[in-house]
Amino acid sequence: MWLIVLAGLIPLIPIGFGVALLTTSVTRASAGSTTTSHRPATTGSIILPFGAAPTVQLPQLSPTPPRGLAPIRPPGTQVALLTQATTMRGAPGGAPIAAQPTTTPFGSSVADYVREVRDGWLGVVSPLAGNNRLGWIPATDAIIEFVDWKLEISLARRQLTVLHGRTVVERYPISIGRPTAPTPTGVFAVTDRLSTGDPSGPYGCCILALSALAPHAIQDWSGGNRIAIHSTPPDTYWSIGDAVTHGCMHVTLPEGRWLVDHIPLGTPAIIRSD
């Protein structure tokens, strides 16, 4: 009798083995497809001494998901991490605006907020393009990471709101540009995270440089006409909440440190007048 039962089970062994292989294959494929899940842009983890030029190793591309499985798109904003020097253009394939090196004037790796993707070109927010204009770089010259942070600035309320996803994480009062040196409005991005090494200096401990440009030179600021969110020493805390700066936005020392410790490069910064 047992010979008859065994004979009946033998044809089922390949089927069972095939099911086991299929189960293993699907499990591995599913695990592989999660490799593109959200993480802050790798370059955002680097905090530079003010004026330093670091050596930065760019992150590796995530593995390609197995054929037939759609990649999981992480939440947040696309950020282009430049992998080689390129030319920024005014339109896809259009006239050159400027040479784009792989590092910023402050020494950070270039991590541009991507607002448009068109026919192999990335429309990015960059100080080289100017306020509220897009510069275009070839998609082949960058890799894409995702940032799930956003900064919203209200000039009327003189308030900085920090969001992670849709969650409000922090709200800070800020000082803003005085009427003769107004803080520009528009869609910008974080380009550099800088540590001054001098908390008692005019920029406090920490600077979050933005892609925004002021229409005027900023007094005693080695960044030219670049706008930043930076800390201010305790003896000038009285100015926070007022329109008294040369265009930058001021926060306290602890708030400036928190921003530099948490906000990745490429994070959008939306400055509104209301």
Concatenating the DSSP letter of every residue in 176-214 gives EE-TTSPPP-EEEEEEEEEE-S-TTSTTTTEEEEEEEE-
At residue 173, the pLDDT reads 98
Predicted TM-score of the model (pTM):
0.75
pLDDT computed for residue 98 by the predictor: 97
- Residue 262 · residue 251 · CB < 8 Å: no
Residue 151 burial (C-beta neighbours within 10 Å; 0-12, 13-18, 19+): buried
Pick the CATH number of 46-56+74-147 from 2.70.98, 2.40.50, 3.40.50, 2.30.30: 2.30.30
Q: Where are the domains of the chain?
A: 46-56+74-147, 149-272
CA distance 17 to 63: 28
Q: What is the pLDDT of residue 215?
A: 80
Cα atoms found within 13 Å of the Cα of residue 177, Cβ hemisphere only: 27
d(CA 247, CA 25): 57
pLDDT at residue number 248: 94
- Which of 1.20.1070.10, 2.40.50.140, 3.20.20.70, 2.40.440.10 would CATH assign to domain 149-272? 2.40.440.10
Average confidence (pLDDT) per 10 residues, the chain, 274 residues? 42 39 30 31 46 37 41 75 98 97 95 96 97 97 96 98 96 96 96 95 94 81 83 96 95 97 97 96
Distance of CA 210 to the CA centre of its chain: 11
Enter the tokens of residue 202.
Answer: 């005019």
Say how far apart CA 260 and CA 207 lie, in whole Å: 7
pLDDT of residue 33: 28
Asked if 46-56+74-147 and 149-272 have one fold, the answer is no
